[in-house]
Amino acid sequence: MIGKKLSGSAARRALVGATSGLLAAAAALGVAQLVAGLTGPLGSPVVAVGEVAINLTPVPVKDFVIGHVGSHDKQVLVAGILLMLAAFAAVVGMLALRRIGYGFAGLAVFGVLGAAAAITRPNSGPADLVPTLVGVAVAAVALTLLVRAGGGRQRPGPTSLPGPATAVQDWYAPAPLAEARPGALSARTPDRRRFLALAAGTAAVTAAGGLAGQKLLSRFNVDRLRAAIRLAAPAKRAPAVTAGTQLPIPGITPFFTSDASFYRVDTELVLPQIAPDEWTLRVHGMVDRPLELSFGDLLRRPLTEADITLACVSNQVGGPLAGNARWLGASLAALLREAGVHAGADQILSTSNDGWTAGTPTAVVMSDPDALLAVGMNGQPLPIAHGFPARMIVPGLFGYASATKWVTDIELTSFAAQRSYWVQRGYSVMGPIKTMSRIDVPKPFQQVHAGRTAVAGVAWAPHRGIERVQVQADGGPWHDAQLAAADGIDTWRQWVWYWDAAPGLHQLQVRATDGTGATQPGKRTGIFPNGATGWDSAAVTVT
């Protein structure tokens, strides 16, 4: 009986400690969010720690996450960080019940990690330390008050020692009842009402701080400035889209991908909010004439319009991390000719606002009039999520080797001298997009009716074009699919094959042949180090 009572008391104390730690950590985050709303979004401890975590994540883990959750990788990371923080906070709270100094030590660890993450980010300053430091101070006060109210130690009183007839007082028992018992414990009794009041107050501070901080952070948003921009008509328009590029097949990927549906893979937890009048681009390195452009300078340059399909190196076979859009921007080759590129400068090292880098072969850019410093997407200024105010677009290369968003720096250098972000992590230097095809309909494991059934999807091989798509059912002969009209060699093509489907379970596969006559290989390989290969497949049931 005594053992059960003591065990129950220990469990309740652990619950009180864990709750105290969680509430203190929540208060720290809520207040830090509020202070970040005053000092700037770079100071948010969760964002700072999250972006450091992105940079430290092993490549296989990163590939696995993006391959399985795609553009939702940021939400998965934040959820993981919050879960780890919650577990740490619960342990800190339980330790604080034993000795408050242990709790302070745990908070100090949290503070050091958050401060280090905030101050080591690109473009950070001393002000970015303030949210974490204030948040930790608030957490220390909250933890002290909660532990004192909910976790006082109890010692035997002078009248008797605990025995079978002497119940160990529960933390939540009303004090008068405890005092009425024979052999009552004389130590300070935890105050349930005070603890609950403090818990409610801490939760209220957390919510108020978080909401107020979010409101204050909205003042850094540049949506209004973006909406006010009027893009000039292109000096070089994209050719009119050929009739027949869009097949009338329900469920097939549209020829043009909307801004909202376009995939997003980058290292930013919070989108950079760069005011156009504060944006500049520096062109330097192995050039005769270093340049610096404002956003106004960029808009005054002759603009080129081009339809280009982009793809991420993290895209698995049959995956969604590819999209086609109409882009508008200034010629990168023309800009570099003005700067005067030195012989031997075989790499264009472009840097994002957050310090992320991409290394692009200079020769590819100089030979392609559609390699752009883009300012528009699908007839509008670039969405913030896709690089506003300006980004790079280079047809034929995976994004990690070309498509720098929020670009602020272009350095002409060599591949021997410098390595870009993902090359440092083992990815290949050049990064050409591989020939790929995908089945959009029917979906894997979908049930379809017997008879004439449309099997359809898209295929892409930027800079080479798609010449042929073939479909196979159940390992049988390959059948030529009908191709939609081509809109140049830099965009994907839709395709359809009409299948006489018989009842049963069937396996469909697709392969494409590009403009050079090369057919995509059937053997599946992973995305590391230069993109996945293999035939997409779909198992379907015919009824």
Domain that holds residue 55: 2-152+190-220
Q: Environment class of residue 399 by beta-carbon count within 10 Å: exposed (0-12), middle (13-18) or buried (19+)?
A: buried
Q: Three-class SS of residue 519?
A: strand
Whether 523 contacts 430, CB under 8 Å: no
In whole angstroms, give the CA distance from residue 276 to residue 381: 11
Does residue 443 form part of some domain?
A: yes
Task: State the pLDDT at residue 161.
Answer: 38
pLDDT (mean) for 513-522: 97
Could you tell me the CATH number of the domain that includes residue 506?
Answer: 2.60.40.650
What's the mean per-residue pLDDT of the chain? 88
* pTM, to two decimals: 0.79
Last residue of a domain, which of 204, 220, 236? 220
CA atoms within 13 A on the CB side of 308: 28
pLDDT at 177: 39
Does residue 162 surpass a pLDDT of 50?
no
**E-strand spans in 380-425?**
380-381, 391-393, 407-413
Show Cβ contacts of residue 494 under 8 Å, excluding neighbours closer than 6 positions: 245, 246, 247, 249, 252, 253, 255, 456, 457, 458, 483, 484
Residue at 40 is within a domain: yes
DSSP annotation string for 457-481: EEEE-TTT-EEEEEEEETT--EEEP
Q: Which of 220, 236, 269 is the last residue of a domain?
A: 220
Is residue 76 in some structural domain?
yes
291 within 8 A of 339, measured Cβ to Cβ = yes
Number of domains in the chain: 2
CB 352 within 8 Å of CB 396: no
Q: Region 197-218: what's the mean pLDDT?
A: 89
Instruction: Among 220, 239, 266, give the residue marking a domain's end.
Output: 220
Within-domain flag for 344: no
Within a domain: residue 483? yes
Pairing of strands 322-331, 303-311: antiparallel
The distance between the two most distant Cα atoms of the chain, rounded to a whole number of Å, is 97
In a domain, 528, yes or no: yes
Return the pLDDT at 7: 64
Please name the helix (run of DSSP H) or strand (run of DSSP E) that holds residue 377, with its range, or none. strand 372-377
Q: Examine residue 318 and state whether it is found in any structural domain, yes or no.
A: no
Record the tokens describing residue 27, joined without a space.
Answer: 């208060």
DSSP of 430-453, one letter per residue? S-BPPPEEEEEESPTT-EE-SEEE
Residue 144 lies in a domain: yes
Mean pLDDT on 435-462: 96
